[in-house]
Amino acid sequence: MTDSADRLQEPQPGYVTRTLLRWFMRPARVAAVSAVSEHFRLVDLEGDALKNIAWTVGEKIQISMGTGLMARTYTPISWDTERGRTRLLAFMHGDAPGSRWAGGLREGDTCQFFGPRRSLDLSGIEAPLVLFGDETSFALAAALRTLQSPRTTVIFEVSDVAESGPVLEEIGLGDANLTARAANDAHLGAVADKVAAHASTGAHFVLTGKAPAIQHVNRALRAAGVGSSRMKTKAYWAPGKTGLD
């Protein structure tokens, strides 16, 4: 069955849903989509609704998946308010609505989005900066690198180091420190030690990604004497749960 046939068979939203989408969502066009690896897509959206937007690094947008009010959250890497263009990095993991949406995108497609709005408040955070996360944090880290500030140290846990490396190189994070996930999270002790090694430098920490991993690293930082004023946390997902962000 072709991709176009699949799309024709998708259920169409009802009148109430269409009305809500018109009220709360805004249209955008897929200006470009690039497969940077098997599980990652760089997506450029454009349109008048993206112009003159007060976006700041760390904020999110939510994109309708085309069925009912279902949406998925993305952290923009960049936002050109004059041209009306934003760039996303979509991570496709499993047979989920977001994965199907990103995998089927073509240049010229249209979508509906809501936002931007606050997700992770980075106001008041100071350099030096250390970001911990995973594949869902790549876009945030790339956005942080666009700021006119000292370079951010980036430490990730990932499922596939061989795949993640070239993706990070593509978005300007070729120097990221990667650790492969292990069964039963056996790798987290080593990852937490890498992050906590920066505690004595006076660094501020941004902890994102998987909720249990954030908790593990948070405990290591507190044991190293890092107070809450030097940490920002945002769980993007947790095993068995949806809708965290």
**Domains plus CATH for the chain?**
3-117 (2.40.30.10), 129-237 (3.40.50.80)
Cβ neighbours around 91 below 10 Å, total: 21
Distance CA 228, CA 238 (A): 22
DSSP letter assigned to residue 206? E
Distance CA 53, CA 82 (A): 9
| Average pLDDT of the residues of the chain | 89
Distance CA 125, CA 62 (A): 25
Over residues 176-207, the pLDDT tens digits come to: 999 999 999 999 999 999 999 999 999 999 99
Q: What is the average pLDDT across 67-85?
A: 90
Quick one: pLDDT band at residue 68, thresholds 50, 70, 90? low
Please report the pLDDT score of residue 140 as a whole number.
Answer: 97
Beta carbons of 114 and 61 less than 8 angstroms apart: yes
Beta carbons of 27 and 110 less than 8 angstroms apart: yes
Cβ neighbours around 232 below 10 Å, total: 20
Q: What is the average pLDDT across 9-31?
A: 65
Residue of 147 and 67 predicted with greater confidence: 147
Query: What's the whole-model pTM score?
Result: 0.89
Please report the pLDDT score of residue 15 as a whole number.
Answer: 47
Percent of the chain with pLDDT strictly greater than 90 = 76
DSSP letter assigned to residue 214? H
Please report the pLDDT score of residue 8 as a whole number.
Answer: 30
Cα atoms in the Cβ-side hemisphere of radius 13 Å centred on 21: 21
Distance CA 181, CA 196 (A): 18
Over residues 89-141, the pLDDT tens digits come to: 999 988 888 999 999 999 999 999 999 999 998 877 888 999 999 999 999 99
Q: Determine the 3-state secondary structure of 73 from DSSP.
A: strand
Over residues 212-241, the pLDDT tens digits come to: 999 999 999 999 999 999 999 999 999 887
